[in-house]
Amino acid sequence: MRFSAPLKPGVRFETASFLLLLTLWVPLCLILIWNRLVAELDLTSLDPIGGFGPGKEKVFAGLSVCFLLCSVVLYVLDFQRRRRWVRSLLLVSLAVTYAGSVGMASAVRSYSSRNEGPGFDGFAKIKFEEYPNLDYEKIFSKGALKAAKLTNFVDLSAFAEKRFSRFRPTLEWAWGAENEPYLKPLFYLNFVSSLWSYGNRLSSEKTGCVLINENTNFGPIPEEGITVRTYVDSDIGCCTDYAYMLHFLLRRAHFESRLVLLPGHILNEVKVDGRWMALDANINVFYRQSWQETVSNNGRAIGVVLFPLRDSDPNAERAYRPLSGSFRQFMLARLAMGFDAPFSYATDLPEHFQ
């Protein structure tokens, strides 16, 4: 038995099949995708065009599947006609298009649920703290440090210790007496964060660390030429410099310290009252838990203490670095999104720190 008879004069099953796809199924798919984009990306200004509820969405999705099945049935009924390979190719293309459309809508749904669903709290899971501002130019004066007679890194450590003793009452008032065990680590965090501005000023896309930057014409300083003055006199630093210097000072102050190595970044951890706490002098942030606890998905709130980042302030004149503030935002956003990059620990420093 052949099923090539027309539905009505001039209209065959094959024609009806493709008309059904083009006039009903394709528009429904476009409407569904548009609605999903409006809903998941929160495009409220487009609500009059799309943005119907989940009930109507299920109805439209059901209709689109029905129309597709009807089209396939009509196509099969007319399958004995010639040009099978052409029609088969068209049907496969339409099926792939449908699968791709559904996949795209599902990807948008998955992305949205990851960032806004019940399993993700975004920045709400981060408990931010900001302490009253201090006279940073006075307490963490780079000018006073440059004027000091320093012949080695031990002298630098002694200078920092004297500054801490001198301004400890001020720190206790500003940072709270309850933070007494953390006062010195927090002081060293801010002291190191004030040593340099992050990256080059003019060539921000190039390496900008103490030992190689725009002021050295991007030529590395030989190991034998590196002294404490190399670090003190430099105005440019990167995460490696911040982490190494903070690690050195914390160990000199008899704190247990270690480096946290991330892809493209490095920060510190210090043990206070038997607990590891993470510190990032590059962005002047103190985490009230270890880095492992900070990035874990255990549902607990993340304690983050934000200190002033002077080189992110456009009023800081020559100290200003546009990338400094954006890098802090980038790191905090990664925490909010779920920081899943691998990391490891280290304790060794370059020889010139010894």
272-312 pLDDT, tens digit per residue, is: 999 999 999 999 999 999 999 998 877 778 899 999 887 77
Q: Which of the listed residues 120, 136, 151 is the one where a domain comes to its end?
A: 120
Q: How confident is the model at residue 234 (pLDDT cuts 50, 70, 90)?
A: very high
**pTM, full prediction:** 0.66
> Cα separation of 156 and 154, whole Å?
5
Residues 196, 328, single domain; the answer is yes
6 part of a folded domain:
no
Residues 135, 116, single domain; the answer is no
Q: H helices within 117-221, ranges in order?
A: 136-139, 142-147, 153-175, 183-193
Question: Are 258 and 268 within 8 A, CB to CB?
Answer: yes
pLDDT at residue 35, rounded to an integer: 63
> Measuring CA to CA, how many Å separate 287 from each of 98, 184, 260, 275, 306?
47, 15, 13, 12, 9
Q: Which helix (H) or strand (E) holds 292?
A: helix 291-295
CATH code for position 337 = 3.10.620
Question: Are 242 and 282 within 8 A, CB to CB?
Answer: yes
Residues 211, 330, single domain; the answer is yes
Residues 103, 136, single domain; the answer is no
Residues 173, 271, single domain; the answer is yes
Domains: count for the chain = 2
164-197 pLDDT, tens digit per residue, is: 999 999 999 888 867 788 999 999 999 999 999 8
Q: What is the DSSP letter of 221?
A: P
45: pLDDT strictly greater than 90 = no
Residues 193, 49, single domain; the answer is no
Find the mean pLDDT for residues 239-249: 97
Other C-beta atoms closer than 10 Å to the C-beta of 79 total 15
Range of the domain at 288: 124-353
> Cα separation of 113 and 54, whole Å?
15
> Cα separation of 22 and 101, whole Å?
15
**Residue whose token pair is 């900070």:** 294
